[in-house]
Amino acid sequence: MAKPDNDILDHEKPAPKPMSLAGKAGIFTLSRAVTIITQMLAGVVLAHVLSKEDNAVVSYLVLTLYTTALAFGQLGLPDSVFFFFEKMPPNSRKAFTLLLSKTLFYLAFGAAVIMLTVGWLGATREGFGEVRTLVWVMAAMLLLELPTMPLPNVLIATDRTKAAAWFNIFTGMAQFMAMTIPLLLPNPVAAIPIGLLIYSSLKFGVSTTIFQKIFKHEPIAALPEGTMKEVLHYSIPLSLAQIFWVLNKMVDKQVVQWLLPSTVFAVYNSGAIEIPIIPTIAYTVSAVMMTQLVGHHLRGERAELLGLWYKSIHKVSVIVLPLVMIFLVAAEEFIALLLPPDYADAVIPFRIYTFILLQRVASYSNMQKALGATAPITYAAIYMFLINAVLCVPLVMWLGMAGPPLAMLLANVFSWWYALRNIQQLLKIRFREVFPFRFYAKALGVAALAALPVLGLKMGVELPRYFGFFILTACYLPIYLVLAKATGIIEAADWRRLMRKINIFHKI
């Protein structure tokens, strides 16, 4: 039986009251938000402190080489934790976790070789000579960090969501310090990789300590023959999907770089983004409930599985849809807040990208993982890449800067339909039963209705440049909350929980 979060620190303490799904999702989402914000802040600090040349070297090392190697080197193995932890007996979990970490350590050598090769070639470009030396430090970091990647999923799968949240916050803050403290040294470009290596060593040590505490009283049981083969059959399609997801994010930028002037590319690249915290909400909620979804599937409890799936979409929709609506209405003000005046046209790709977020109310790939079907996730990623690649060029020639994000939007709409159709076929239900379309339409309508008076304010009043986004947000949220309460979009229990938090905040 899984032990509660506090058992990581003291297994002798009495078990606390089990946390609700909403509570687990909330605390894990908050931790992911902290991690994302610290990563974004690190990039902002580097851009302001380093010269463009030095920042280019660091960005190439960390964002291009290391992040790509880390993503590809995982081979989808961390995602297999939820499925196989439910499928295997509890006494096999320690051995299974060790098997994943050991395999990821071996994979890290292959990923490091690729990173070293690409880094060596990339260093031939003018201004990137330091990369050839520093990439060796990043390779050592890869060997330390890649084996720790399954730990957050292990914590969630063993009902230690609080510990997973704190681990995320720890890694986010430690990574931020590793990238910013070296800026105080004489040669920050060389010091930042050393700082990141210290961070990865610390993360490895903390991960090892947590692993020992989780499985302190469990022996290493022998795994069934063929376990690794079964795991790879499950995880490799996820790895291929990850590759095509990365390629899909690069298509529009490459097309704009080749077909439009460089000044236009700089503006487009700044606006062609999805607000990262919004898709994170659906992902973290799905991660928290993965264990329950897998359990319902393996026991053949289709009604319970669908009920949990619907409930999560309801909870996420009432948060995500109004957030998306704010960024759609206040897109100009948000871009003005972040970028200089000559970047105003970045609002064009930004608003179209924001439309993609309207369907980020669930993690459709996680649902398919819970059902044991990972190959369709790969097919969906390939189809999305191909649609985007085929449409991107003609649309950029026809519509200019608006063309590539429109191709991305159409590719994502197809991917949404394709994922829902696969889930429908796996569950052997009608298409209208695979997603709470009626509730979603109602929630979207309420979010849009609340935006109308705010849009009127925006059109009728000239707002200050740096405060316009906050003014529109402050006007929108109360209107949405009143309408959501009146229409029943927000349930009574959720409303009471919200009011309690507001009262606590007011007392503080």
418-438 per-position pLDDT tens digit? 999 999 999 999 999 999 999
pTM value?
A: 0.71
Count Cβ neighbours within 10 Å for each residue of 112-143 and write b for 16 or more, e otherwise: bebbbebbeebbeeeebebbeebbebbbbbbb
Residue-level pLDDT at 448: 96
**Distance between CA atoms of 29 and 24, rounded to whole angstroms?**
8
Say whether pLDDT at 71 is over 90: no
Mean pLDDT of 124-143: 80
**Distance between CA atoms of 131 and 115, rounded to whole angstroms?**
11
Say whether pLDDT at 150 is over 50: yes
Confidence bin at 275 (pLDDT 50/70/90): confident
**Distance between CA atoms of 115 and 12, rounded to whole angstroms?**
45
Closest by CA position to 108, among listed 136, 140, 135: 140
Domain borders along the chain are 1-224, 230-435
Query: Given CA atoms 415, 368, 108, 31 in this order, what sign does their dihedral have?
Result: positive
3-state secondary structure of 215: coil
Token pair recorded at residue 83: 């499925």
Closest by CA position to 406, among listed 390, 383, 382: 390
Confidence bin at 353 (pLDDT 50/70/90): very high
Q: Do the beta carbons of residue 372 and residue 83 sit within 8 Å? A: yes
pLDDT digits (tens, 9 = 90+) for 216-252: 877 787 888 888 888 888 888 877 887 788 777 777 7
Residue-level pLDDT at 132: 77
pLDDT digits (tens, 9 = 90+) for 325-340: 999 999 999 988 877 7
**Distance between CA atoms of 383 and 418, rounded to whole angstroms?**
9
pLDDT digits (tens, 9 = 90+) for 250-265: 777 778 767 777 667 7
Within 8 A by CB and 6+ apart from 466, the residues are 336, 337
One-letter amino acid identity for 442? Answer: K
Query: Given CA atoms 303, 285, 76, 167 in this order, what sign does their dihedral have?
Result: negative
Q: What is the DSSP string of 403-471?
A: HHHHHHHHHHHHHHHHHHHHHHHHHT--GGGSS-HHHHHHHHHHHHHHHHHHHHHHHHSPPPTTTHHHH
- Percentage of the residues of the chain whose pLDDT score is greater than 70: 86
